[in-house]
């Protein structure tokens, strides 16, 4: 019972039903307006026809009716059948009176319509133009149109003559039209509604297909796409939008999957190593020195583990807006020079030439810790992805209201297909598994640049090298006291 009621409500609320109702209302109103309009037009045309006939009959009356010394007389040839017929026709509804309203002649049919009073006659004559009136017969309740006017005899006496014509035929035509039209009106509305229903069904069926396809898509089969109909309409646009949404969802699912795998790998490696070191110490170490060495090794791995977890937490805080920036105006030149100095030893270890080309001062309003993290991440990547014998250059200069910081290397480069993704969280270029990393470093770089009102660009040729360019807005030169930029930590760090 309840289920039936709910499905009935869903049907009534359905687009198809509402569209059909709208069409039905529209068609009804349109047909009503059209019907009334044509009825008015038909009425006017029919009345005009009667008036034209009356005008012609009036001309005939003038020809056949002679009024002389208050005597009205119809002059025609009784032998002529046609003339006789015309005059009989004119005499059927006919009224004649003198100027004072004294009736000279009146047909019985006119008496049924009502005799003109002397006042009405005087008013009609005063008009100086044809007199028109509609009256209903007392006898058979038929409508009549009356045309009256002035007659003048040889002695210049003025008379009032009126003739009438039944408008019943016109009314009948009008009523017939109205009856027929309003009889077929419900059928036309029904036909309009059926067409509306059919059109709505056709328009909505792709939406149903879309909903069914969307139903089939789950976390396990995100590769499903709805085939476009290539009609270029709104539904195609919807399908396109939906497909790109699923595509984004798929890549985000994929990223999360990869991240889980990476995180577990990143956490498992140091954990296994700590466990191994501690087990070896437990079973084989005999001197305090051996225990000490094992603990130091384990602590190093614990530190690495801590760094990974910190990086993950930090990025999630940064992206959820919980990381407040402590901004101050600093000159980027000494900051860059310091970090480049810190990276000299690892760079030499990889047999790389690391140089800084800086033109100062480069004043920027930044959170120093975050900016150092950004520079370190870029330098660390450059060192990591450049083969021995290559070179890495860090540049910093101010130009056109911007501070431009660049890290250029002669490393492995990034394939063009990977370029749009390298700033995505947890993205790592495939085929570089031997290099350690979580794929978070560049996400940090992009977030830090953006959080400081700047942005980062990349330029890379596979096999030849990569250049990362960070553009930050210039800050106004500060007071000398603020302008000190000291050295940071002693050891180089990749702060992902």
Residues lying near ligand ADP in the complex (CB under 6 A): 381-382, 385, 409, 411-414, 422, 427-429, 432, 437-443, 466
Nearest residue (CB) to ligand ADP, 266 versus 367: 266
- If the CB atoms of residues 174 and 470 are measured against ligand ADP, the closer one turns out to be 470
Report which of 36, 35, 94 is spatially closest to residue 62, judged by C-alpha positions. Answer: 94
End-to-end CA distance of the chain: 61
Cβ atoms of 146 and 50 closer than 8 Å: no
- As measured in angstroms, the least distance from the Cβ of 341 to ligand ADP is 20
Nearer to ligand ADP, 167 or 412 (CB): 412
* C-alpha–C-alpha distance, residues 277 and 301, integer Å: 10
C-beta of 281 vs 414, nearer to ligand ADP: 414
CB of 20 to ligand ADP, least distance (A): 56
What is the C-alpha separation between 94 and 109, in angstroms, rounded?
8
Residue 407's contacts (CB-CB under 8 Å, 6 or more residues apart) are: 375, 378, 379, 381, 382, 392, 393, 394, 395, 467, 468
How many Cα atoms sit within 13 Å of 452 on the Cβ side? 32
Q: Which is nearer to ligand ADP, 441 or 492 (CB)?
A: 441
Nearer to ligand ADP, 333 or 392 (CB): 392
Please state the closest distance from residue 324 (CB atom) to ligand ADP, in A: 23
- Residue pair 172/190 in contact (Cβ under 8 Å)? The answer is no
Q: How far is the CB of 258 from ligand ADP (least distance, A)?
A: 11
Nearer to ligand ADP by Cβ, of 98 and 409: the residue is: 409
Shortest distance, position 414 Cβ to ligand ADP, whole Å: 5
CB within 8 A of 88, min separation 6: which ones?
none
206 near 240, Cβ under 8 Å?
Answer: no
Nearest distance from C-beta of residue 222 to ligand ADP, angstroms: 23
From CA 455, how far away is CA 374, in angstroms rounded?
12
Nearest residue to ligand ADP by CB is 437
Q: Which is nearer to ligand ADP, 334 or 439 (CB)?
A: 439
Question: For 27-51, what is the HEC assignment?
Answer: HHHHHHHHHHHHHHHHHHHHHHHHH
- Using the minimum distance from each CB to ligand ADP, give the nearer residue, 31 or 311: 311
Cβ neighbourhood burial of 9 (10 Å; 0-12, 13-18, 19+):
exposed
Q: How far is the CB of 412 from ligand ADP (least distance, A)?
A: 5
Least Å distance, CB 272 to ligand ADP, is: 20
Rounded to the nearest whole angstrom, what is the least distance from the CB of residue 428 to ligand ADP in the complex?
Answer: 4
Long-range contacts from 350-354, C-beta under 8 angstroms, 24+ separation: 350/383, 350/386, 350/388, 351/388, 351/389, 352/383, 352/386, 352/388, 352/389, 352/390, 352/391, 352/392, 353/390, 353/391, 353/392, 354/379, 354/383, 354/391, 354/392, 354/393, 354/394
**Closer residue to ligand ADP in complex, CB, 192/441:** 441
Residue 378 CB, shortest distance to ligand ADP, in Å, is: 7
């Amino acid at each position: 019972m309840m289920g039936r009621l709910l499905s009935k409500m869903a049907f009534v609320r359905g687009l198809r039903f509402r569209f059909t109702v709208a069409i039905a209302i529209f068609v009804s109103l349109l047909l009503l307006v059209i019907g009334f309009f044509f009825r008015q037009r038909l009425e006017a045309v029919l009345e005009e026809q009667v008036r034209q006939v009356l005008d012609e009959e009036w001309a005939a009356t003038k020809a056949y009716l002679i009024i002389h010394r208050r005597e009205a007389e119809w002059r025609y040839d009784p032998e002529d059948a046609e003339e006789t017929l015309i005059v009989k026709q004119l005499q059927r509804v006919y009224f004649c009176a003198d100027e004072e309203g004294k009736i000279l002649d009146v047909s019985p049919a006119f008496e049924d319509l009502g005799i003109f009073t002397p006042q009405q006659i005087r008013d009609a004559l005063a008009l100086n133009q044809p007199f028109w009136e509609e009256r209903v017969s007392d006898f058979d309740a038929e409508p009549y149109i009356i045309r009256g006017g002035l007659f003048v005899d040889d002695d210049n006496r003025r008379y009032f003559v009126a003739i009438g014509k039944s408008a019943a035929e016109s009314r009948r035509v009008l009523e017939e039209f109205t009856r027929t039209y309003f009889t077929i009106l419900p059928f036309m509305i029904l036909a309009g509604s059926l067409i509306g229903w059919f059109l709505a069904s056709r328009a909505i069926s792709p939406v149903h297909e879309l909903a069914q396809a969307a139903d089939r898509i789950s976390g396990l089969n995100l590769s499903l796409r709805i085939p476009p109909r290539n009609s270029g309409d709104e539904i195609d646009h919807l399908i396109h939008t939906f497909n790109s949404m699923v595509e984004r969802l798929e890549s985000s699912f994929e990223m999360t999957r990869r991240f889980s795998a990476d995180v577990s790998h990143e956490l498992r490696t140091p954990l296994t190593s700590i466990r191994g070191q501690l087990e070896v110490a437990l079973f084989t170490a005999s001197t305090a020195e051996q225990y000490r060495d094992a603990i130091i090794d384990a602590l190093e791995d614990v530190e690495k583990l801590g760094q990974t977890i910190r990086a993950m937490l930090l990025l999630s805080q940064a992206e959820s807006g919980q990381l407040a920036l402590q901004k101050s105006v600093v000159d980027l030149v000494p900051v860059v020079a310091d970090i480049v100095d810190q990276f000299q030893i690892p760079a030499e270890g990889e047999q790389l030439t690391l140089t800084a080309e800086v033109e100062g001062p480069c004043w920027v309003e930044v959170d120093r810790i975050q900016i150092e993290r950004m520079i370190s991440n870029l330098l660390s990547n450059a060192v990591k992805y450049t083969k021995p014998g290559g070179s890495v250059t860090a540049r910093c200069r101010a130009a056109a209201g911007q501070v431009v910081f660049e890290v250029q290397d002669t490393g492995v480069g990034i394939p063009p297909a990977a370029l749009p993704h390298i700033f995505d969280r947890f993205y790592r270029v495939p085929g570089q598994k031997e290099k350690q990393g979580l794929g978070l470093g560049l996400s940090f770089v992009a977030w830090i640049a953006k959080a400081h009102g700047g942005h980062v660009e990349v330029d890379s040729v596979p096999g030849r090298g990569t250049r990362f360019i960070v553009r930050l807005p210039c800050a106004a030169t500060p007071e000398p006291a603020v302008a000190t930029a000291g050295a940071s930590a002693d050891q180089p760090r990749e702060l992902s």
